[in-house]
């Protein structure tokens, strides 16, 4: 539920809609501007850059706020809300804040630490006795490890978590049961790698220790004392009319509201102004909420383990809850900056806090990304610091410098090979002449990237913005260390320093195992066990998962090492983001049909997906398993118009030949549903649900 700058593709721009645009700005007089400071320049810059987000960075609408010494001094919004232009954006329009919700969970845990009810270094099983896993190391997991991402949990157990206007609590309620069937990917405390499940477990920890449900807890002890009237969760049944309008690039029309039912990991709704009020906890303006001792503890360097890369400008260096406790570019000005961002499929957010300056900026958006939001928050803060005279001028953008030509030792060529990261592999080729090419093994729009050997032993891009080296750690694993400065026109510069991938070693497989996997190479597998309201049917590529064996690395499928005819495991140990959300593959057969279990997600082989005979009337029934029913669209049915009669507890979706959703009944639409040639259709609902289909 969170992006990094390394994944940015700034070439994609959504064209502006013809729908009305709303603009609003506000400035509040405050003790912090007694000298006549009006923040006019900051307001102007914020408005211009918010406008830029909607014009050039895939953002539908944006809301932003600057707070200075406890006073909201800049606040505004810009963009497209509802399609009809009947609901203007206001400061009270609510957005999903995604993983910025983790800061509420962290504050809740730390409040209980303040009260002596939780000790950060006492194992979680002491507080949640029924917490179990298939790995005895789980008994070592502590609350601190949940909050600094070092628990060793695999990542995100998110079945039925992202839903359209459906507050089903299945994902939260079944987490302990699902974890009971999992193993750990690393020793608890060994290193920090982004982990959503750790924060859902921390949410449950708060509930068990406090005796309150999480939503009630955060209202009583965080939002109500701070006057955060527009901060709610799905369990509050918020007024959908007050939520920011949602859109998806490949789907026509406005979407229903998005609910994420792992509240402590990413399910809270809020506004930029409310997040600014929340930030006062970390600037010393709200010590009645949380002690200074705890806020200081949250801002410590929790990420520093032997596996973390050496110090470099960065935007990802974990504290307790925080994504970074040394955010670039504020480090250039000698300032401590804390940040937390959040991304759901449709909403994004960023909170940037300067505790020593008693300032913070919050940005929330529909569309876009948390990285864009963070950059906008950075720009607002820097402009305000300059307007106040705290900084004299903006620092220039940085670069690692262009390559310095030098002879390369032949030993460097040993680093050629296949490198794995979460669900992907990359081919690294190094020539004797000192040129390194980087190519994704998976289908990608990104061209081959080329880097040149430099005199300091690194490889650099010709523009000097990226520097790459290879590091072998004490665990015997070799990592691709990428350091780069990413500059986005109008939004400033961010920095990334990460182990982006780990070198994988080829392996020989028994003939029987090889034959089984060759049969699956290139096949599609179709999603079966997501609820009928799930966003997965619209936005997730998992609906049409394609398995491609590594062409360069025998014995692997994606990042996963094949361990038998029906099993493969991901054994990556990468800190930060590139080793998050790991899952194995387990195939099983029932009634002659092959299924795939991928970390709790169940899919079915394309071999079992046949054309539906779209006669004048057809009936499809959901089986007792509750699995969705998939069908392909044959040549004779392509172009037909279908109508489907079904109960409320059901949905269907239609996909084109590329697997892009072109119709999802939960969203609906006035246009007739035309079956695309070579496409597919899925029916989802409770077990026994019947669909009556007519075609013409």
pLDDT tens-place string over residues 137-158: 999 999 999 999 999 999 999 9
One domain, residues 111 and 135: yes
Strand order in the sheet with 22-26: 22-26, 71-79, 59-68, 359-367, 347-354, 338-343
One domain, residues 148 and 189: yes
One domain, residues 126 and 273: yes
Establish if 526 belongs to a structural domain. yes
Residue 521 neighbours by CB under 8 Å, 6+ apart:
547, 548, 549
One domain, residues 470 and 572: no
For position 304, which CATH number holds?
3.40.710.10
One domain, residues 343 and 449: no
- The confidence score (pLDDT) of residue 35 equals 55
Residue 551's domain comprises: 511-605
Nearest to 496 by CA among 323, 340, 308, 316: 316
Domain boundary among 471, 503, 535: 503
One domain, residues 435 and 536: no
383-410 CB burial, b ≥16 within 10 A, e <16: bbbbbbeebeeeeeebbbeebeeeebee
pLDDT tens-place string over residues 108-127: 999 999 999 999 999 999 99
Establish if 34 belongs to a structural domain. no
Establish if 165 belongs to a structural domain. yes
Domain boundary among 605, 627, 656: 605
Establish if 386 belongs to a structural domain. no
Establish if 259 belongs to a structural domain. yes
One domain, residues 499 and 520: no
- The confidence score (pLDDT) of residue 155 equals 94
Place of tokens 């079945």: 159
SS3 category, 126: helix
| Token duo for residue 160 | 């039925």
One domain, residues 132 and 274: yes
Distance CA 500, CA 632 (A): 37
One domain, residues 414 and 275: no
Establish if 662 belongs to a structural domain. yes
- The confidence score (pLDDT) of residue 520 equals 95
Residue 396 neighbours by CB under 8 Å, 6+ apart:
none
One domain, residues 485 and 517: no
- The confidence score (pLDDT) of residue 2 equals 52
- The confidence score (pLDDT) of residue 1 equals 55
- The confidence score (pLDDT) of residue 228 equals 98
SS (H, E, C) 567-594: EEEECCCCCECCCCCCCCEEEEEECCEE
Establish if 253 belongs to a structural domain. yes
Number of independent structural domains in the chain: 4
Establish if 333 belongs to a structural domain. yes
Place of tokens 């949905």: 651
Domain boundary among 540, 570, 605: 605
- The confidence score (pLDDT) of residue 541 equals 80
Distance CA 329, CA 400 (A): 15
One domain, residues 312 and 192: yes
One domain, residues 145 and 188: yes
- The confidence score (pLDDT) of residue 695 equals 86
- The confidence score (pLDDT) of residue 18 equals 30
SS3 category, 664: strand
Which of the residues in the chain have pLDDT under 50? 3-34
| Token duo for residue 330 | 């504020």
């Amino acid at each position: 539920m969170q992006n990094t700058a390394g994944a940015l593709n700034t070439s994609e721009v959504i064209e502006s809609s013809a729908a009305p645009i709303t603009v609003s700005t506000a400035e509040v007089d405050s003790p912090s501007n007694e000298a006549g400071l009006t923040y006019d320049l900051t307001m102007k810059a914020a408005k211009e850059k918010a406008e830029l987000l909607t014009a050039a960075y895939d953002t539908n609408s944006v809301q932003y706020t600057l707070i200075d010494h406890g006073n909201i001094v800049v606040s505004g919004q810009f963009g497209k809300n509802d399609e009809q232009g009947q609901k203007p954006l206001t400061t009270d329009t609510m957005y999903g804040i995604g993983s910025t919700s983790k800061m509420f969970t962290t504050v809740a845990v730390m409040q209980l630490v303040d009260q002596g009810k939780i000790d950060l270094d006492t194992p979680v099983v002491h507080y949640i006795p029924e917490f179990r896993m298939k790995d005895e190391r789980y008994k070592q997991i502590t609350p601190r490890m949940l909050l600094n991402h070092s628990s060793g949990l695999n990542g995100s157990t998110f079945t039925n978590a992202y839903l359209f206007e459906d507050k089903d609590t299945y994902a939260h309620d079944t987490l302990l049961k699902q974890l009971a069937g999992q193993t750990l990917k690393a020793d608890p405390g060994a290193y920090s790698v982004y982990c959503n499940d750790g924060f859902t477990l921390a949410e449950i920890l708060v509930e068990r220790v406090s005796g309150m449900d999480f939503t009630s807890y955060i209202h009583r002890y965080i939002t109500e004392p701070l006057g955060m009237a527009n901060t709610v969760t799905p369990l509050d049944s918020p007024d959908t009319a007050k939520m920011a309008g949602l859109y998806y690039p490949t789907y026509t029309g406005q979407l229903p509201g998005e609910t994420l039912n792992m509240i402590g990991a990413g399910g809270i709704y809020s506004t930029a102004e409310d997040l600014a009020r929340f930030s006062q906890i970390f600037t010393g303006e709200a010590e009645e909420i949380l002690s200074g001792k705890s806020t200081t503890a949250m801002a410590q360097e929790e990420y520093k383990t032997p596996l973390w890369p050496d110090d470099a400008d960065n935007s990802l260096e974990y504290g307790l809850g925080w994504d970074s406790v040394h955010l670039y570019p504020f480090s250039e000005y000698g300032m401590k900056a804390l940040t937390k961002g959040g991304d759901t499929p449709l909403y994004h957010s960023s909170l940037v806090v300067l505790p020593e300056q008693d300032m913070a900026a919050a940005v929330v958006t529909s569309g876009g990304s948390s990285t864009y939001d963070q950059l906008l928050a950075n720009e607002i803060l820097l402009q305000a610091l300059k307007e106040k005279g705290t900084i004299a001028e903006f620092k220039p953008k940085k670069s690692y410098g262009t390559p310095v030509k030098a002879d390369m030792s032949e030993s460097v060529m040993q680093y050629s090979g296949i490198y794995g990261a979460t669900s992907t592999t990359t081919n690294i080729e190094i020539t004797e002449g000192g040129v390194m090419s980087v190519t994704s093994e998976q289908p990608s729009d990104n061209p081959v990237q080329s880097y040149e050997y430099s005199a300091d032993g690194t490889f650099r891009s010709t523009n000097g913005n990226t520097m790459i080296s290879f590091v072998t750690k004490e665990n015997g694993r070799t990592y691709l260390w990428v350091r780069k400065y990413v500059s986005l026109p109008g939004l400033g510069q961010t920095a990334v320093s990460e182990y982006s991938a780990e070198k994988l070693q080829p392996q020989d497989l028994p003939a029987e195992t090889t034959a089984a996997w060759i049969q699956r190479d290139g096949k599609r597998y179709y999603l079966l066990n997501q609820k009928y309201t799930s966003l997965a049917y619209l936005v997730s590529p998992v609906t049409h998962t394609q398995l491609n064996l590594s062409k360069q690395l025998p014995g692997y499928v994606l990042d996963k090492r094949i361990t038998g005819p029906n099993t493969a495991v991901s054994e990556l140990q990468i800190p930060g983001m590139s080793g998050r959300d790991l899952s194995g593959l387990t195939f099983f057969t029932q009634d002659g049909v092959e299924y795939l279990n991928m970390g709790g997600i169940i899919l079915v082989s394309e071999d079992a997906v046949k054309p539906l005979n779209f006669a004048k009337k057809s009936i499809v029934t959901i089986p007792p398993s509750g699995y969705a029913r998939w069908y392909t669209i044959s040549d004779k049915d392509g172009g037909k118009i279908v109508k489907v009669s079904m109960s409320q507890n059901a949905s269907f979706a239609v996909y084109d030949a590329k697997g892009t959703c072109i119709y999802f009944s939960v969203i609906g639409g006035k246009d007739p549903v035309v079956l695309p040639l070579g496409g597919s259709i899925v029916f989802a609902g409770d077990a026994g649900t019947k669909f009556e289909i007519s075609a013409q």
